[in-house]
């Protein structure tokens, strides 16, 4: 799934595509984001599987690794920290994705405006695809994916 995000971002924008590069509004940068977004969307809603696919996190990781590798480490650190703390993969994924535009806004600012817009939209989309996981968490029906998380240890101590 990660490769599904890496390949389109690395290969397609470099091709000589008629019309691209002639319109100043269609830059190679936006083509990278469009290819990445299409790969993620196609993973989540594949035609061949009646539009029932994955949640897009691994494909999004591949897109970010190819388009903006500087954001992968902070995102992964956040993911592991959240997973260790609360034990829920879905919540860790949503938070780790939401950290990316914030990290970019703090470290790169206006220089990364287009990337901030793309990663903000990506964070909202990943939250949307994880909405069933988030709903279970809010309603209390979710069981931790990692039984040894800090949150789980605290709840076991209080029993």
* Structure token pair of residue 116: 């901030």
pLDDT above 60: residue 26: yes
Phi, psi values for residue 68, rounded to 5°: -150, 70
- Per the CB < 8 A criterion, the answer to whether 82 and 92 are in contact is yes
pTM for this structure? Answer: 0.85
pLDDT digit string, tens, across residues 125-137: 999 999 999 999 9
- Per the CB < 8 A criterion, the answer to whether 71 and 119 are in contact is yes
pLDDT digit string, tens, across residues 111-156: 899 999 999 999 999 999 999 999 999 998 878 777 766 766 666 6
pLDDT digit string, tens, across residues 39-93: 999 999 999 888 888 999 999 999 999 999 999 999 999 999 999 988 899 999 9
Sign of CA dihedral 3, 124, 97, 69: positive
* Structure token pair of residue 47: 């035609």
Mean pLDDT of the chain: 88
What ranges do the domains of the chain cover? 1-67, 70-159
């Amino acid at each position: 799934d990660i490769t599904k995000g890496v390949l389109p971002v690395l290969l397609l924008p470099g091709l000589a595509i008629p019309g691209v590069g002639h319109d100043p509004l269609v830059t190679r940068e936006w083509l990278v984001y469009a290819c990445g977004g299409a790969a993620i969307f196609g993973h989540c809603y594949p035609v061949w599987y009646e539009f029932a696919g994955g949640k897009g996190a691994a494909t999004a990781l591949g897109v970010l690794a190819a388009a903006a590798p500087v954001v992968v480490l902070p995102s992964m650190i956040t993911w592991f920290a959240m997973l260790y703390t609360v034990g829920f993969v879905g919540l860790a994924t949503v938070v780790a994705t939401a950290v990316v535009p914030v990290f970019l806004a703090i470290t790169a600012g206006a220089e990364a405006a287009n990337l901030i817009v793309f990663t903000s939209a990506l964070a909202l989309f990943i939250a949307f695809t994880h909405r069933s996981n988030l709903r279970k968490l809010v309603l209390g029906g979710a069981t931790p994916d990692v039984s040894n998380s800090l949150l789980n240890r605290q709840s076991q101590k209080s029993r």
